[in-house]
């Protein structure tokens, strides 16, 4: 299975407290003067009892999550600020006389077409009717497979989880990857868990399916029967799916087949014809989860064709719902927004359209964004920070007492080979084949989908382009990509609270420094360590060192398994292992790098806090986030990141430097005996 880039933060949640300024720069831009907000602290709580709440407790008590959000805090408000900046850029473009086909024209007209809800309302669900008619015309499962494969060219494909990207074992060569698909709930567990919350989600899911069908004119009784049949079919499919923890094993999920051999495994699906319909020319394929495709092969012929057609029609309507009339948008929000995530009211339309433009034309909008909001000196300063942490990481690897010299040399070679991407791409993507019409929002989305697919399949037979980015420049996130052996920091995250030119080193190293260390450590977490310096899935460890690493990683799993969320649920230490290792390593590396700075070497207090205390408070401030219960419940099941409280308390409870900074002693809840503390990297 192709591992997705390892993110700093899950896509389901995005960012900070209001800007504290009391002066302006020469160009009238507000200048921040306060970099840690003491008012958010709860000093009635001892730092050694719960440092997250000590640093953020008052803010947690006083903060209400806005109705259109699933959570609130650092990432969310930074994301909101970015959306406002992007909206301004787009609306400026709308006022300009843009040449047809220019970046300004495409960005402006895509946004405007989505904002024209009057025109969208008049169309109802007309835009998706042609696809529904194609599904209606299907007479047997072979035609169903053909339709499913054909649809990918138009962004309407079904049944197959397809991705073209580096072959995990030959990172310079592109390959087609097939992964499990066909579920509309977050993962397999939602179909089987018997707790009351999940049972209720399934009931609401049935209501959602029924509602969409009735909105297309199907009578309520038939719609309800369709919903039951679809849920039953998806439950059968879910039994074939790997669990979130199983999906984290890159070796287990790497299965290469000659097309002829895969055909033998799937006798009722014409594999060569499927690939041809998808415009993919290859003699070999990678199949992440073969069990899914073997089950799909059997279910296609064993389950009634009318049930399959109902499932595809529901999928088509649900996927199109955000671009259809209000009744469809409302129905989708009621389930995916309210029921699954706890969101109270829908996100404002302009915010959704900014997201659509960024998601669909990201490197066109990104050019406009970085010209206005990202300074060249920010890139230079960031590169300096990355290089500083890389030197510290090198020193830490050299000093490891549990790793042999043989493995150390390979680890150092991998560290030295990191590609560093900061701010935005050196070469921008082209969207010449994307046609954007201000009067047809749905058609615009189709054109983008067609472009994206064409761009993806064009990679087949070509060398991997390692200059490509996996995020747009305004994105408030960062990632490590194992196949590229790269760490990537988009312009969007290089802002306060993560990074500020005016902040002291304790603030920047505790924030963006820990982010840098986090992404570097992903190269050596339980997944990343299985890739060599060139990005190939290859075992470069001695057996003894691999065994020692696994033992240390198991300690981390056990530590996080004990963290309780929502009173009766626990963090899944196995699912979150990679992120927890990255958090633990990231903050430790950032601290050591900070101690090499003048401030880190000194003891001058700011706002009453020592340099070390400010470093740890900055780290805690980055994760000042409050989640809705529904969001937390879903995250525990699907998100490889631990909830924010444990992203703070977990790593710091393993750091003797934190103990010294805040006088943490035996008997404090965060205190661990030295023998219980973990240090991997």
Is 583 assigned a catalytic role? yes
Report the alpha-carbon distance of residue 645 to residue 619 in Å, rounded.
11
Question: Which residues, at least 6 apart from 568, have a Cβ–Cβ distance to it below 8 Å?
Answer: none
Report the alpha-carbon distance of residue 515 to residue 109 in Å, rounded.
36
Question: Which residues, at least 6 apart from 414, have a Cβ–Cβ distance to it below 8 Å?
Answer: 485, 523, 524, 532, 533, 540
- Select from 665, 640, 635 the least CA-distant residue to 653: 665
332: phi then psi, degrees, rounded to nearest 5: -65, -40
Dihedral angle computed from the Cα positions of residues 217, 223, 229 and 232, in that order, rounded to the nearest 10 degrees: 110
One of 234, 504, 532, 583 is an active-site residue; which one?
583
Report the alpha-carbon distance of residue 574 to residue 196 in Å, rounded.
24
- Select from 336, 326, 132 the least CA-distant residue to 226: 132
One of 486, 519, 525, 592 is an active-site residue; which one?
519
- Per DSSP, the three-state class of 493 is helix
Is 663 assigned a catalytic role? no
Contact (Cβ atoms closer than 8 angstroms) between residue 47 and residue 667: no
Strand partners, 479: 7, 488
R_g over Cα of the chain: 25
Specify the DSSP element, H or E, that contains 420: strand 419-423
Question: Which residues, at least 6 apart from 264, have a Cβ–Cβ distance to it below 8 Å?
Answer: none
- Select from 354, 381, 342, 333 the least CA-distant residue to 86: 354
Tally Cβ neighbours within 10 Å of residue 468: 15
What are the residue numbers of the active site?
A: 519, 583
């Amino acid at each position: 299975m192709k591992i997705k880039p390892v993110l700093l933060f899950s896509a389901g949640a995005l960012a900070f407290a209001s800007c504290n300024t009391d002066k302006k720069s020469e160009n009238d831009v507000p200048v921040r003067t306060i970099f840690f907000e003491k008012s958010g602290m709860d000093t009635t709580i001892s730092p050694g009892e719960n440092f997250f709440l000590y640093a953020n407790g008052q803010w947690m008590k006083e903060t209400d999550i806005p109705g259109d959000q699933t959570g609130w805090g650092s990432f969310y408000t930074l994301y909101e600020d970015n959306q406002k900046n992007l909206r301004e850029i787009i609306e400026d473009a709308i006022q300009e006389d843009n040449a047809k086909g220019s970046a300004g024209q495409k960005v402006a007209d895509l946004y405007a077409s989505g904002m024209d809800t009057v025109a969208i309302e008049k169309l109802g669900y007309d835009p998706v009717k042609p696809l529904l008619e194609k599904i209606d015309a299907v007479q047997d499962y072979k035609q169903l497979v053909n339709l499913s494969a054909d649809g990918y060219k138009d962004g309407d494909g079904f049944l197959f989880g397809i991705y073209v990207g580096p072959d995990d074992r030959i990172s310079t060569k592109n390959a087609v990857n097939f992964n499990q698909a066909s579920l509309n709930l977050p993962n397999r567990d939602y179909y089987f868990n018997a707790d009351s919350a999940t049972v209720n989600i399934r009931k609401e899911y049935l209501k959602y399916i029924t509602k969409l069908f009735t909105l297309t004119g199907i009578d309520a009784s038939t719609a309800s029967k369709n919903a039951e049949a679809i849920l039953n079919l998806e439950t059968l499919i879910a039994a074939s799916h790997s669990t979130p923890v199983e999906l984290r094993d890159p070796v287990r999920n790497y299965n290469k087949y000659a097309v002829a051999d895969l055909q033998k495994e799937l006798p009722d699906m014409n594999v060569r014809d499927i690939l041809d319909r998808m415009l993919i020319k290859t003699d070999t394929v990678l199949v992440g989860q073969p069990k899914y495709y073997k089950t799909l092969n059997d279910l296609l012929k064993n389950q009634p064709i009318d049930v399959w057609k109902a499932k595809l029609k529901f999928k088509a309507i649900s996927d199109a719902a955000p671009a259809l009339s209000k009744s469809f948008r409302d129905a989708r929000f009621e389930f995916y927004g309210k029921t699954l995530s706890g969101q109270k009211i829908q996100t404002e339309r302009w915010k959704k359209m900014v997201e659509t433009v960024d998601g669909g034309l990201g490197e066109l909008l990104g050019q406009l964004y970085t010209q206005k909001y990202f300074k060249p000196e920010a890139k230079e300063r960031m590169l300096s920070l990355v290089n500083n942490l890389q030197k510290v990481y090198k020193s830490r690897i050299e000093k490891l007492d549990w790793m042999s010299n043989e493995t150390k040399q390979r680890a150092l070679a991998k560290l030295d080979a990191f590609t560093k991407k900061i701010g935005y791409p050196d070469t921008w993507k082209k969207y010449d084949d994307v046609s954007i019409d201000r009067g047809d929002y749905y058609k615009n989305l189709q054109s983008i989908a067609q472009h994206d697919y064409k761009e993806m399949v064009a990679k087949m037979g070509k060398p991997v382009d390692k200059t490509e980015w996996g995020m747009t420049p305004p994105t408030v996130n960062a990632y490590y990509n194992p196949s590229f052996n790269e760490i990537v920091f988009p312009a969007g995250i290089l802002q306060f609270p993560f990074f500020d030119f005016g902040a002291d080193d304790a603030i920047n190293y505790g924030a963006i420094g820990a982010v840098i260390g986090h992404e570097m450590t992903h190269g050596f977490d339980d997944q990343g360590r299985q890739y060599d310096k060139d990005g190939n899935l290859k075992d470069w460890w001695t057996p003894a060192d691999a065994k020692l690493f696994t033992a240390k990683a198991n300690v981390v799993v056990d530590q996080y398994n004990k963290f309780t969320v929502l009173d009766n649920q626990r963090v899944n230490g196995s699912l979150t292992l990679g992120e927890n290792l990255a958090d633990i390593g990231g903050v430790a590396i950032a601290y050591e790098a900070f101690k090499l700075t003048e401030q880190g070497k000194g003891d001058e207090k700011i706002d009453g806090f020592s340099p070390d205390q400010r470093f740890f408070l900055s780290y805690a401030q980055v994760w000042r986030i409050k989640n809705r219960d529904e969001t937390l419940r879903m995250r525990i099941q699907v998100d490889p990141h631990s909830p924010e409280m444990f992203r703070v308390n977990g790593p710091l409870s393993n750091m003797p430097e934190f103990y010294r900074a805040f006088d943490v002693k035996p008997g404090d809840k965060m205190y661990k005996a030295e023998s219980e503390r973990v240090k991997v990297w």
